[in-house]
Structures are given as C-alpha cells and as structure tokens.
Amino acid sequence: MTDPLDILLLAHPETDEALVARLLAEGDCPARLAVARTRQELRAALEHPTDMVLGDPALDGMDAQELAALLAAAPGAPPYIAFAPGLSGPGAMLAVRRGAFDAFDQAELARLPLAAWRARREADARREGERARAMQRELVHNSPTAIAVLDPRGLVQEVNPAFERLFGYSQAEVRGRDLSGLIVPDSGLAEFRSAASRLRQGEIIQSEPTRRRKDGAAVHVAAVGIPVALPEGGMGVYVIYNDLTSRMRALDALRRAESNYRDFFMNAVEGMYVSTPLGRFVLANPALAELLGYDSPAEVTDSVRSIRREIYSEPDHRERFLDAMRASDTLRGFPARVRRKDGSEVDIVENVRAIRDDDGALLFYQGTMVQA
C-alpha cells in the first residue's frame, strides 16, 4: 500500500475536506491532510516539509504571485494543484503560469485523483534528479582529482578545489573562459583541439599531456575527457586531471637508482650474480666472470647450464646450499669450492639472499662470490 502523503489543503469556504481526502485515497494518494484557511496558517504550515499543496489559489485574498513565491520558498518546493469554485479560463491559466501543476473548477474535483498522482510522480522524479545533481556536485567538489566542467561551447562552467590547487586559478578567474587559453601551452593546442572535436562526437578521450599552471610552470597530467548531459541542459564535458609530476619524479629517481645499481653491479670488485632456484645464472658481473675464468658476464649466463654440475666441485654443495636457504633465506660466509672454466678449482665464500614476491613465492637468489 502507498504510504500516506503529507498534503496541505488551502480550504475555500465551499471545499468539502472529507471529499478531498476520499478522492486522494481513491487515486492511490492517501493523505495526512492539514488545512490552512488564512495566510498565517499557510505560512506556519509551509515551515514544515509538505508533499503536496492543493486548493484555493486566492486563499485569504492572496494573489497568484504571492502564493507562488511562498510555495517556491517552501522546503522541497512541493507541487501545487489549484482548485476552487469558479476557477476556470483566465484564472486557471494564471495559476498554471505561476507554477501550479494543474488548475480546475471545484465542480471538476473528480479530476483530482489523476492530477495528484501525476503531480506526485513528476515531483518524485524532480526530487530524484535534484538529489542526483546534488550528489554529482558534491562528488566534483570533494574529488581529490582536478575537475573542470565545460559547457557546450567549451567554456568553463565550474572547477573544483583540486583544480584550483593544481593549476593555481580560482573559480572566479576561470568561469566563462576557454580552458585552452588558460592551461594549454602553444605546443599542445593542436592536440587539445583534436580531442575537443572527438569529445563533441561523444568519444571519451584519455591522454597524458603537458599542461601549464597559472605561474607558467609545466605540469604533466593524466587527462580524461567525458561528454556528459549538464544539469542545466545540453551536452558538456567533464575534464579530469591527475597530476603525474610526483610519479614522473619517482620514475626518474627509479631510473637513476637502477643506473646507479647497474654501475655498482658491473664495477664491483666482488663477483656478483642472480640465479634461478633451478640453478642457472641470469645475471653476472665482470668480477664473477674473472673469478670463474670466463671471458665475459654474457659467457657465464649463456654457457653455464647447471651451477650444481658445472660450478660446484663438491657433489653435495648445491643440496647444502638449498637446505640452508630454505632455513633462513640468507647465507653469510658460506664456504664452497668452485670449478673454473679451465677446470682448475678455487675456494670461495658466498653471501646470498632469497628474493620473493608479495605472496612469498621464491623468485631468484641474489649473491656474491669472493675468493677465500
């Protein structure tokens, strides 16, 4: 059963309140009916949420404009259906023009159930749309990523605080302006215009361009353009920017670290290697190649098929090595005897650690060999 509505009736002296309540119930709009007969009662009633307002548009001598202003200012702007004795023609038209959902003579009160049902349906749809738009605005405003909302002409309607922080412009400085003139460097204008053309055709665009802050500094961003229906009507664009500056700095730092490690690895005086759990070298440095008598690190990794058979002189050394690694994942000062390429043997000491992935699976061994 439909939940009762809170309905305010603007009562004309000739209004049959019981009949109104019965007709509403028959139209699947059962009501908790409140009645206002004076301006004061109307104003007091509208201070509280009301689902619908019905009845006399000239209550207590009010004109249609005054009533429309009161209803528009009421919480939730409830829908209004006007009816009263003699309300027809120009009077009914004026009530509708002033915002009434429907208007008719009280003699036609049989129209009330259908009119109330339609008014309720449209009011629910309007409120749902308003809630969705309010949520949309809230998401844009509170998003940690920079967002600009563009109108169908490509002019800025709104930006969020994250956009202001990223690009240095205030809301007032960007509203109504062409976004490309604010943040797109000359070198990126052709790319921007191409993306704008594709957006107008309904395509979602993703790119990682360079943009410009208010102070002229370049900023590398991940940009997503999304065509959207704007709350005010028409198609616009949401442009979402994520600052990649910190990521680029991290990548640069990683590249430098990798370069430094590679230099350290290749120039170390200790023999260094990375080997698989099955016993093959996948990386070797020059010092290891020299220790084992090979011409180059590549010869070590390419020609040694089994560390167990070709490198260790003692048959059980690989088993002792694996048992020790399973016990602690780290070996320090582990003695061994190894066979060089020419068949000669040399005593060495190994320091090794196991490298595992996030799930604990063994990936490889990373170690050093030095002559004892």
3-state SS track over 136-189: HHHHHHHCCCEEEEECCCCEEEEECHHHHHHHCCCHHHHCCCEHHHHHCCHHHH
Same fold, 5-138 and 143-243: no
Locate the domains of the chain by residue range: 5-138, 143-243, 250-371
Of the candidates 372, 357, 341, 371, the one whose C-alpha atom is nearest the C-alpha of residue 277 is 357
Instruction: Give the integer Cα–Cα distance in Å for 273 and 369.
Output: 8
- 103's enclosing H/E stretch is strand 102-105
75 is written with which tokens? 């919480």
Instruction: Give the integer Cα–Cα distance in Å for 243 and 281.
Output: 41
Of the candidates 252, 287, 255, the one whose C-alpha atom is nearest the C-alpha of residue 273 is 287
- Look up residue 236 and give its amino acid: G
Q: Which CATH number fits domain 143-243: 3.30.450.20, 3.50.50.60, 3.40.50.1820, 3.30.110.30?
A: 3.30.450.20
**pTM for the model:** 0.48
| Residue 247 falls in which region: left (phi positive, over 0), alpha (psi -120 to 50) or beta | alpha
CB neighbour class for 101 (10 Å; exposed up to 12, middle 13-18, buried from 19)? buried
Paired sense of beta strands 345-356 and 362-371, if any: antiparallel
In this predicted structure, what is the pLDDT of residue 1? 46
Torsion sign across C-alpha atoms 190, 196, 202, 203: positive
Instruction: Give the integer Cα–Cα distance in Å for 283 and 289.
Output: 11
The DSSP call for residue 313 is S
129 — phi, psi (to 5°)?
Answer: -65, -40
Superfamily of domain 250-371: PAS domain (3.30.450.20)
Whole-angstrom CA distances from 77 to 97, 113, 274 are: 16, 20, 73
33 — phi, psi (to 5°)?
Answer: -90, 125
In this predicted structure, what is the pLDDT of residue 233? 62
3-state secondary structure of 214: coil
What's the CATH fold of domain 5-138? Answer: Rossmann fold (3.40.50)
Torsion sign across C-alpha atoms 169, 171, 173, 179: positive
Degrees to nearest 5, angle at CA 280 with 278 and 281: 140
In this predicted structure, what is the pLDDT of residue 138? 80
**Which residues, 6 or more positions from 161, have their beta carbon under 8 angstroms from its beta carbon?**
141
The DSSP call for residue 312 is B
- Tens of pLDDT, residue by residue, the chain (372 residues): 467 888 999 999 999 889 998 888 887 778 889 999 999 999 999 998 888 999 999 998 888 888 888 988 888 888 999 999 999 888 889 888 888 999 999 999 999 988 888 888 887 777 776 776 677 778 788 888 899 999 888 899 999 999 999 999 999 999 999 999 999 999 999 999 898 888 888 889 999 899 999 999 999 898 999 998 766 666 789 999 988 876 667 667 767 867 777 888 888 889 999 999 889 998 999 999 999 999 999 999 999 999 999 999 987 898 999 999 998 899 999 999 999 999 999 999 999 999 888 888 888 999 999 998
- How far is Cα of residue 236 from the mean position of the Cα atoms in its chain? 18
Instruction: Give the integer Cα–Cα distance in Å for 369 and 42.
Output: 93
